Amino acid sequence: MSSSKICMNGLCGAKTTTQWKRGWAMKAGGFATLCYSCGNVYDQVNYCERFHLNEPGWRECKFCEKPIHCGCVVSKYLHECLDLGGISCIKCIIARGTQAPKPTQSHPNDLPNGFIPFSATWHPTIGNRVNGGAAIDKGRLTQLTESIEKHQPTPSTFSLGHQFKQDKTRLPSELSIGIPSNKDIKTLFSNSSSLFDNGRTELGFSSFYESKPEPSLTYSLGIPLATTKSSLDPDSCGPVEPEKVPSFKQCQRSRISFPKLSKSGLSIRSQSNKGIASDNRVARPPAEGRSRNQLLPRYWPKITDQELLQISGDLKSNCTITPLFEKVLSASDAGRIGRLVLPKACAEAYFPAINQSEGLPIRIQDIKGGEWTFQFRFWPNNNSRMYVLEGVTPCIQNMQLQAGDTVIFSRLDPGEKLVIGCRKAAVPTDTQVIFLQHNSLFTKSMGHEAMANGDQKTLIQEKKKSRNIGLKNKRLLMHNKDALELKVTWEEAHELLRPSPSPACKATISMIENYEIEEYDEPPVFGKKTLFTVHASGPQEQWGQCDNCFKWRKLPPDVLLPPKWTCSDNVSDPERASCSAPHEICTKELESIFKLGKDFKKRKLAEGKVVEEQEPSGLDALATAAVFGEFGESSASATTRHPRHRPGCTCIVCIQPPSGKGKHKPNCFCNVCLTVKRRFKTLMLRKKKREAEKLLVVVESGGIAINDLNGEGGESLGKGGKQLDLNCDPIKEEDITMVDAIKIGTQLEWHSALVPCSTPEGTSEIEGHPDPPVVGQPSMAPPTHTPIDESIS
DNA sequence: ATACTGCATGAAACT
DNA sequence: GTTTCATGCAGTATC
């Protein structure tokens, strides 16, 4: 359909509109006409068919002096108020019609002349119509109003615009009333794509899918919130076919001149049914604005009526507040950088249009009445824009917000002043997700995928959907203090893993880079937690607690306890294989041990920042543990490594010096560093000795000249002899040349020069070790193997 | 060394 | 495949 007529919507500006779309069927015959540009709806005589004004045209809201169209729901200055047959001025939000909250002061233009609220009608073409209904007189209107006040059932609304997008979530009963089927609508609107681009179509039809009372969000701050549970007389629903007759509830329509219920709202309630996010927030489509229908539901304001009233009360102003959108603060939003990323659609819909990247300063009021000035600007981004508010830190801090909390932007009318509000995140949100994710991971690692039951998955999905902290905030999640705590717990959990007690469960031992790897066909089980004490000069001890008498029994360090363990299982110490046996050491000493263990854990937590930076270097933690063992009288902590490698263990895995951040200093005298130095020195001396002997044999037999050795054997050291290839096994004599030995000796001297070798007394003996040396710093190649438990985690 | 700035990147969401 | 947006990062400014 095309014509050259001018759009009647004075704000459309589409004076040259040449294309008109066919809208829905008119009860008078034919089809409504839609303005291609603004989506405004006209019938064939160019005026809105919705309210059937006696005299089409514009009138003025005498309250706010804004022009009011004939009642066309797409009029910029006329709020949708279809649900109960009323209209409201979008500027002053004072509604008139059957369901308007009664203003404390009468609107001068109350029930304008000629205004007749619509009611549902039946149209032979598209079935029940819930808009553009029959004309009724004022007497009938009064009657309806009384009926509404009498019944007050639970209204709900649904808008067609949403229906198209959110078809999947509609309740089965949703279209049981006089609403065209999707097919009908799609047919009718097959050429009306722009209709959904400007957010107007949603005003055209209403439906019902919520059973919960949804109060109107039409507020005037000077007006007490009226209870808007309401109804219409079923008669007003107009003639409909019996099988299509809407229920009483369906027939009435809540008067929403504001963001209405949405799919999201429903979704949230579904969540609440599952015990998550159990608030009664309902996401509402945003208020009028440019491209408002493009706003993602997650940005729809989920502000409760009480909160709105609270804000209204806080502002102590006789104004109307309109929630526009909200956003969950990301880590970067709430961070010190002071930049709040605005959803593009929201920024373009509700903030001033800006052409320059620098943007412009924008004043936003908080709910306490304080004024903040932010820089509203954008950055070019992939042929698009990224809108930010700069300088929000003071405001965020003032409101004591952090990542995960929500800021809500609203508009204060008259004056179109922006207001920023907030909502704190629910407490369990983050940890819940982390726990579940960890739980899922853990389950998986144990080979128990089946254990990740549907509830958990659902829970995770729900949380993901809710996006309180989105997936893009993984880092935030893991840097959370709770997460750190959890991480430690996770490591501890690893420690408790035991091979399945099943007799059929036998270990398959394979060698990977000279390390024994035990593999089991069956998933591990949790063992009993024990405590280890490490003395600098003595052997490490393990302590296990009896499940019966709760006494602590000393155990050999390599014993792994089953989940249930009692004194009678203490085969290693027959004297204390009974609960009646006394404690091995006095209670005070035990307390001391446990306190040290706790202190160690506390310290670990306190060093969370360091842990963050160093993660996932569990070896560093081991080194720390080793230091702890050396300098403390004794230490007790749960090992965080493979069960075989306890604190104090000096095997090649555990003694690897730290690398990267958190390196030990050259003059560090910790157990790890001293052991490494000692072993390296011993090894090199032994090599020197062997090579000298070999050379002697060669020289004596008139063999190879020394210079010739440079060509082959020297390669592994590099031309400058500065690089040492420790991937070769230095024990293999055939790989070592005299030059190698000399150069290695030089390396050792150089290393010694860096690290004053002040070997403690009693540790100066030459020590051999079957493992190849792995030295981290400063010029050594990193170890090539992956520690066992790191590969697990 | 630290803070600020403007853009780039890539995962996730969306179409 | 495209868009959005959280965050990284390099260059620059400031202390």
pLDDT tens-digit map of A670-689: 555 565 566 666 666 776 77
Per-residue pLDDT band for A332 (boundaries 50, 70, 90) equals confident
pLDDT of A725 higher than 50: no
Nucleotide nearest to A335 (CA to C1'): C7
Q: Work out if A461's Cβ lies within 7 angstroms of strand B.
A: no
pLDDT at A421: 85
The residue-averaged pLDDT of A143-152 equals 37
More confident residue, A413 or A751: A413
Cα separation of A477 and A481, whole Å?
A: 9
Burial A388-417 (b: 16+ CB within 10 A, else e): bbebbeebbeebebbbbbbbbbbbbbeeeb
Q: Work out if A390's Cβ lies within 7 angstroms of strand B.
A: yes
pLDDT of A63 higher than 60: no
pLDDT of A571 higher than 60: yes
Per-residue pLDDT band for A706 (boundaries 50, 70, 90) equals very low
pLDDT of A39 higher than 50: no
Per-residue pLDDT band for A396 (boundaries 50, 70, 90) equals confident
Q: Work out if A444's Cβ lies within 7 angstroms of strand B.
A: no
Spanning CA of A310 to C1' of B8, the rounded length in angstroms is 42
Spanning CA of A472 to C1' of C7, the rounded length in angstroms is 9
Q: Which of A46-50, A171-175, A341-345, A573-577 has the lowest mean pLDDT?
A: A171-175
pLDDT of A420 higher than 80: yes
The residue-averaged pLDDT of A294-323 equals 66
Q: Which of A60-69, A176-185, A561-570 has the lowest mean pLDDT?
A: A176-185
**Considering only residues 606-665 of protein chain A, which place a Cβ less than 7 A from any atom of strand B?**
none
Q: Which of A34-43, A548-557, A630-639 has the lowest mean pLDDT?
A: A630-639
pLDDT at A321: 77
Residue A306's Cβ-count burial label (10 Å; 0-12, 13-18, 19+) is exposed
> Does residue A414 have a cis peptide bond before it, meaning omega lies within 30 degrees of 0?
yes
Spanning CA of A236 to C1' of C9, the rounded length in angstroms is 64
Spanning CA of A4 to C1' of C3, the rounded length in angstroms is 36
For A194, how many CA atoms within 13 A lie in the half-sphere containing its CB? Answer: 13
> Both tokens of residue A98?
């059957």
pLDDT digits (tens, 9 = 90+) for A70-129: 333 333 333 333 222 333 343 343 333 323 333 333 333 333 333 322 222 222 222 222
pLDDT at A594: 54
Q: Work out if A382's Cβ lies within 7 angstroms of strand B.
A: yes
pLDDT at A523: 55
Residue nearest to nucleotide B11 (CA to C1'): A472
> Does residue A616 have a cis peptide bond before it, meaning omega lies within 30 degrees of 0?
yes
pLDDT digits (tens, 9 = 90+) for A589-613: 665 555 554 444 444 444 443 333 3
Cα separation of A59 and A66, whole Å?
A: 8
Spanning CA of A163 to C1' of B6, the rounded length in angstroms is 41
pLDDT at A320: 74
Spanning CA of A487 to C1' of C10, the rounded length in angstroms is 32
Q: Which of A303-312, A389-398, A496-505, A615-624 has the lowest mean pLDDT?
A: A615-624
Q: Work out if A470's Cβ lies within 7 angstroms of strand B.
A: yes
Per-residue pLDDT band for A559 (boundaries 50, 70, 90) equals confident
Residue nearest to nucleotide B15 (CA to C1'): A165
Per-residue pLDDT band for A669 (boundaries 50, 70, 90) equals low
Nucleotide nearest to A388 (CA to C1'): C5
Spanning CA of A9 to C1' of C4, the rounded length in angstroms is 33
Q: Work out if A467's Cβ lies within 7 angstroms of strand B.
A: yes
3-state secondary structure A192-236: CHHHHCCCCHHHCCECCCCCCCCCCCCCCCCCCCCCCCCCCCHHH
| Strand C footprint, Cβ within 7 Å | A 296, 299, 327, 330-333, 339, 341, 343-345, 381-384, 386, 403, 470, 472-473, 475-476
Spanning CA of A526 to C1' of C2, the rounded length in angstroms is 47
pLDDT of A389 higher than 80: yes
Residue nearest to nucleotide B8 (CA to C1'): A381
pLDDT of A352 higher than 80: yes
Spanning CA of A462 to C1' of B9, the rounded length in angstroms is 28
Residue nearest to nucleotide C2 (CA to C1'): A382
Spanning CA of A415 to C1' of C13, the rounded length in angstroms is 39
Q: Work out if A380's Cβ lies within 7 angstroms of strand B.
A: yes
Nucleotide nearest to A382 (CA to C1'): C3
Nucleotides of B under 7 A from a protein CB: 4-15
pLDDT at A742: 34
Contacts of A242 (CB under 8 A, 6+ apart): none
pLDDT at A106: 35
Nucleotide nearest to A469 (CA to C1'): C6
Cα separation of A558 and A701, whole Å?
A: 52
Nucleotide nearest to A465 (CA to C1'): B13
Per-residue pLDDT band for A296 (boundaries 50, 70, 90) equals low
> Both tokens of residue A704?
């190879």
Nucleotide nearest to A474 (CA to C1'): C6
Q: Work out if A298's Cβ lies within 7 angstroms of strand B.
A: yes
Name the residue among A131, A147, A157 with its Cα closest to residue A52. Answer: A131
Nucleotide nearest to A357 (CA to C1'): B6
The residue-averaged pLDDT of A414-441 equals 56
Spanning CA of A435 to C1' of C8, the rounded length in angstroms is 27
If you average pLDDT over every residue of chain A, what do you get? Answer: 48
pLDDT digits (tens, 9 = 90+) for A491-537: 455 555 566 656 666 666 666 556 555 655 565 555 676 776 655 45
The residue-averaged pLDDT of A581-587 equals 69
Per-residue pLDDT band for A317 (boundaries 50, 70, 90) equals low
Cα torsion A270, A273, A275, A278 to 10°: value is 70
Nucleotide nearest to A384 (CA to C1'): C3
In chain A, ranges of CATH 3.30.40.100 domains: 527-603
The residue-averaged pLDDT of A162-174 equals 26
Cα separation of A792 and A783, whole Å?
A: 18
Q: Which of A18-22, A31-35, A495-499, A616-620 has the lowest mean pLDDT?
A: A616-620
pLDDT digits (tens, 9 = 90+) for A460-496: 333 333 333 333 343 333 334 444 334 444 445 555 5
Q: Work out if A536's Cβ lies within 7 angstroms of strand B.
A: no
Which residue type sits at A682?
A: T
Per-residue pLDDT band for A631 (boundaries 50, 70, 90) equals very low
pLDDT at A758: 32
pLDDT at A524: 56
Per-residue pLDDT band for A756 (boundaries 50, 70, 90) equals very low
Q: Work out if A551's Cβ lies within 7 angstroms of strand B.
A: no
pLDDT at A699: 53
Residue nearest to nucleotide C6 (CA to C1'): A472
Cα separation of A637 and A600, whole Å?
A: 7
pLDDT at A327: 86
> Does residue A647 have a cis peptide bond before it, meaning omega lies within 30 degrees of 0?
no
Contacts of A734 (CB under 8 A, 6+ apart): none
Per-residue pLDDT band for A355 (boundaries 50, 70, 90) equals confident
More confident residue, A273 or A695: A695
Spanning CA of A782 to C1' of C10, the rounded length in angstroms is 29
The residue-averaged pLDDT of A616-634 equals 31
CATH number for the region A305-423 comes to 2.40.330.10
Q: Does the domain spanning A527-603 belong to CATH 3.40.50.2300?
A: no
Nucleotide nearest to A386 (CA to C1'): C5
Nucleotides of C under 7 A from a protein CB: 3-8
Q: Which of A201-215, A277-291, A499-513, A623-637 has the highest mean pLDDT?
A: A499-513
In chain A, ranges of CATH 2.40.330.10 domains: 305-423
Per-residue pLDDT band for A572 (boundaries 50, 70, 90) equals confident
Q: Work out if A168's Cβ lies within 7 angstroms of strand B.
A: no
Q: Which of A356-360, A500-504, A545-549 has the lowest mean pLDDT?
A: A500-504
pTM beyond 0.85, yes or no: no
pLDDT at A483: 40
Spanning CA of A195 to C1' of C4, the rounded length in angstroms is 23
Percentage of chain A exceeding pLDDT 70: 20
Per-residue pLDDT band for A358 (boundaries 50, 70, 90) equals confident
pLDDT at A534: 58
pLDDT of A346 higher than 70: yes
Nucleotide nearest to A473 (CA to C1'): C6
